[in-house]
Amino acid sequence: MADPDSFAAGAAFVDGGFVPIGRASVSVLDWGFTKSDVTYDVVHVWRGSFFRLDDHLARFARSMAALHMTIPYGVDEQAGILAECVRRAGLDDSYVAMVTTRGVPLPGMPRRPSLMSNRYIAYAIPWIDVIPVDVQERGAHLIVAKTPRIASESVDPTVKNYHWGDLVQAMFEAEAAGADNAVLLDADGYVTEGPGFNVFAVRDGSVVTPDRGALEGVTRQTVIDICGELGLPVRIAPMTRDDLLAADEIFTSTTAGGVMPAARIDGRILQNDRPGPVSRRIRETYWRWHEEGRHLTPVSGLAWTPAEARAS
C-alpha cells in the first residue's frame, strides 16, 4: 500500500500548503463534490518542462470567469504552485491539474453560490495516457456511443468540467463492445468528443474536427497549428457518424497522451487496421515540437511565490 505521507505518488497544494497526494482532500459538503460545481484544467510536464502552460492557465481563467469563480492567486503564482507540486513529487513527466471548486456553504448561509468562498487545489501525479501507448501504436478501436452528449445549452463543453455522466456511460458501452473508447454524438446526431479527448477525421488528405459539443482543447489547437505548418488543409466543421465511417483515418487528441490514432470505428477497419500516414505524421510532429522545445516552460524556471504557502 502506498504511504500517504510520501510525495512519491504525487504532490498537491491544498488550503495554502503542500501535502503528499495521499493527504489531499475535499470536503463532502463542497459543492464541487455534491453538485459537480467545479472547473479544472490539466497541463502535462514532459522531461521537466510544461507544454503550452500559458494556454492552459488562460483557459482555466476563462473557465473560472464563466462560472463566476475567483481564487487569490494570479497567473504567475499559479504557475509557481504547479511547478512546486512537480518538484516536490520529483516528476520529470507528469500530469498536472489545477482545480477550483465552488466551496462549502456556511451554516445558515442562503443557498446562493455567489456567497461561497471558492477553493483552489493543484496537484502533480505521474504521467497519464488516456489511451495506453501500446494501443496508440496499433491504433485505438472506437465505437460511436448510443449515449448522447449532454446538451451544450445545459453544460458548456468549452468550460472544462466534471459533468461526466454521459462520458462514463459511453466508456461502459465501449467496454461492453470490446472497444478501447467511444465517441459521442449530440442529440442532433453530430459528433462532439470522447471521454477526455477531441476527435479528428482525415478524408482525401484533409483534416476536420467537430465544431460543436466539445472542449476547445489545447492539444486540438496544437494539431491545427501542426496542420498549418505541414500544409495540410484543416477545418472545424459539422461531422456526423457517417462522416466518421467514411473517413480514411481517425485520430484523437488530448493533453494526457497527445495525438492518438485510431484503427477501427464501429468495427470498420481503417488503413489495414493500423494508424494512417496523416495521423502518424501529425503525431510525430507533435512530439518533435516537444523535442525542439516549442511551447515549453521549464519547471526549474518557475518560482514558488504565494506568501501563505511559504509558511507551510
Residue 272: phi, psi to the nearest 5?
55, 30
58-to-28, 90, 178 alpha-carbon distances in Å: 29, 26, 38
Contacts of 154 (CB under 8 A, 6+ apart): none
Task: Identify any residues that bridge with 122 across adjacent strands, giving them in sequence order.
Answer: 13, 98
| Model-wide pTM > 0.75 | yes
Q: Which residues pair with 200 in a beta bridge?
A: 251
Q: Which CATH class is domain 7-127+296-307?
A: alpha beta
Cβ neighbors of 152 (< 8 A, separation 6 or more) are 186, 212, 213
Return d(Cα 227, Cα 270) in angstroms, integer.
21
Nine-digit cell string for 111:
443557498
- Tell me the pLDDT tens digit for each residue of 161-199: 999 999 999 999 999 999 999 999 999 999 999 999 999
Query: Can you give the pLDDT at residue 310?
Result: 45
Identify the pLDDT of residue 145: 98
pLDDT confidence of residue 85:
97
Start and end residues for every CATH 3.30.470.10 domain found in the chain? 7-127+296-307
Range list of β-strands (E), 47-197: 49-51, 94-101, 119-126, 140-144, 181-183
List, in sequence order, every residue forming a beta bridge with 45; answer none if it has no partner. Answer: 50, 94
Q: Which residues of the chain have pLDDT under 50?
A: 310-312
Positions of CATH 3.20.10.10 in the chain? 133-275
How many residues make up the chain in this entry? 312
Distance CA 154, CA 159 (A): 12
| Angle (CA) 212 195 22, round 5° | 135
Which CATH superfamily groups domain 133-275?
A: D-amino Acid Aminotransferase, subunit A, domain 2 (3.20.10.10)
Mean pLDDT of the chain: 95
Show Cβ contacts of residue 283 under 8 Å, excluding neighbours closer than 6 positions.
136, 251, 258, 259, 260, 261, 275
